[in-house]
């Protein structure tokens, strides 16, 4: 157990629907990252939050949004789902927001597998 | 546009052999280069990492070699074991944002 908790583990839904993925970071970590893992795209960085504020944005679609709450858990909202959104969605956490030079160790959860039919 | 290119896509090695995975990057601003190991049904987990001011780092059977001028780095798994069978991702980081390579599936045969 990495200490990063993601729910649900599996989710099957239909095109056009909306889903919410939830992540609880490791105790003491202030930063949360969302990654999408698909067979043809590998691990793609979506978005990062640090202590409730958006810190960095990657290849996140406009149909997707995220937030980090005061208790530091985070939710990733996926709307108007398409077949191509089927993937594993990983949440990771770290203690720091990321520094100009230095290690930033990310701890990943087990992922949420989304299947869009 | 993939900022970190990883090869090979997959490799099969016999128990006791050496597994070598290579990565190349473009952005010289990257300042941290970790390797992650992922088993089926699990999230990636940090295996070993290196900073660009070091040419080599060894932790047990795992070694990273780093060539700053060539903008390349590699992972060597010595004395490969069946338990090492997993997908390995190299990554490069700046400001904590990791850019991952496409991954290498390693299979160690008994």
Over the stretch A69-88, which tens digit does the pLDDT of each residue have? 999 999 999 999 999 999 99
Distances (CA, A) of A20 to A17, A83, B4, B103: 10, 16, 30, 27
Query: Can you give the pLDDT at residue B95?
Result: 72
Query: Can you give the pLDDT at residue A104?
Result: 76
Average pLDDT score over chain A:
91
Query: Can you give the pLDDT at residue B11?
Result: 97
Q: Which of A19, A47, A29 is nearest to A112 (CA)?
A: A19
Q: Which of A80, A90, A73 is nearest to A14 (CA)?
A: A80
Which of A98, A109, A110 shows the shortest C-beta gap to B96? A98
SS3 at position A55: strand
- What does the pLDDT look like over B78-101, one tens digit per residue? 999 999 999 999 999 887 678 899
Contact A48, B96 (CB under 8 A): yes
Q: Which of A61, A71, A83, A55 is nearest to A23 (CA)?
A: A71
Which of B2, B32, B36 shows the shortest C-beta gap to A103? B32
The sign of the CA dihedral A75, A80, A86, A87 is negative
Chain A contacts to B (CB-CB under 8 A)? 2, 4, 31, 33, 35, 42-45, 48, 55-56, 58, 90, 92, 94, 96-111
| Other CB atoms within 10 Å distance of the CB of residue B31 | 19
- What does the pLDDT look like over B13-70, one tens digit per residue? 999 999 999 999 999 989 899 999 999 889 999 999 999 899 999 999 999 999 999 9
Place of tokens 């780095």: B73
Q: φ and ψ at A42, to 5 degrees?
A: 65, -150
Spatial separation of the C-alpha atoms in residues A29 and A23, rounded to whole Å: 12
Query: Can you give the pLDDT at residue A103?
Result: 63
Please list every residue in chain B whose beta carbon sits closer than 8 Å to the beta carbon of residue A33. 98
Please list every residue in chain A whose beta carbon sits closer than 8 Å to the beta carbon of residue B23. none
Q: What b/e readout covers A38-73, taking b as 16+ CB neighbours within 10 angstroms?
A: eeeebbbbbbbbbeeeebbebebeeebebebeeebe
Average pLDDT over residues A86-98: 88
A67: enclosing H helix or E strand: strand A64-68
The sign of the CA dihedral B3, B9, B15, B16 is negative
Q: In this model, does residue A98 exceed pLDDT 90?
A: no
Asked if B100 and A42 come within 8 Å (Cβ–Cβ), the reply is yes
Confidence grade of residue B109 (pLDDT, cut at 50, 70, 90): very high
């Amino acid at each position: 157990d990495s200490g990063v908790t993601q729910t649900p583990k599996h989710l099957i839904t239909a095109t056009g629907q909306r889903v919410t993925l939830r992540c609880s970071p490791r105790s003491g970590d202030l930063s949360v990252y969302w990654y999408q893992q698909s067979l043809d795209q590998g691990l793609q960085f979506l978005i990062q939050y640090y202590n409730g504020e958006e810190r960095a944005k990657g290849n996140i679609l406009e149909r997707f949004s995220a937030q980090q709450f005061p208790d530091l858990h985070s939710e990733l909202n996926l709307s108007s789902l398409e077949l191509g959104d089927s993937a594993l969605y990983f949440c990771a956490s770290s203690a720091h927001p990321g520094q100009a030079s230095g290690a930033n160790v990310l701890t990943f959860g087990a992922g949420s597998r989304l299947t869009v039919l | 546009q993939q900022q970190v290119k990883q090869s090979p896509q997959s490799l099969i090695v016999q128990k006791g052999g050496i597994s070598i995975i290579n990565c190349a990057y473009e952005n010289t601003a990257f300042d941290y280069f970790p390797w992650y190991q992922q088993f089926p049904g699990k999230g990636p987990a940090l295996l070993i990492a290196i900073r660009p001011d070091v040419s080599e780092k060894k932790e047990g059977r795992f070694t990273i070699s780093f060539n700053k001028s060539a903008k390349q780095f590699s992972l060597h798994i010595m004395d490969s074991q069946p338990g090492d069978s997993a997908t390995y991702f190299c990554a490069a980081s700046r400001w904590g944002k990791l850019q991952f390579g496409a991954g290498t599936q390693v299979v160690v045969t008994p």
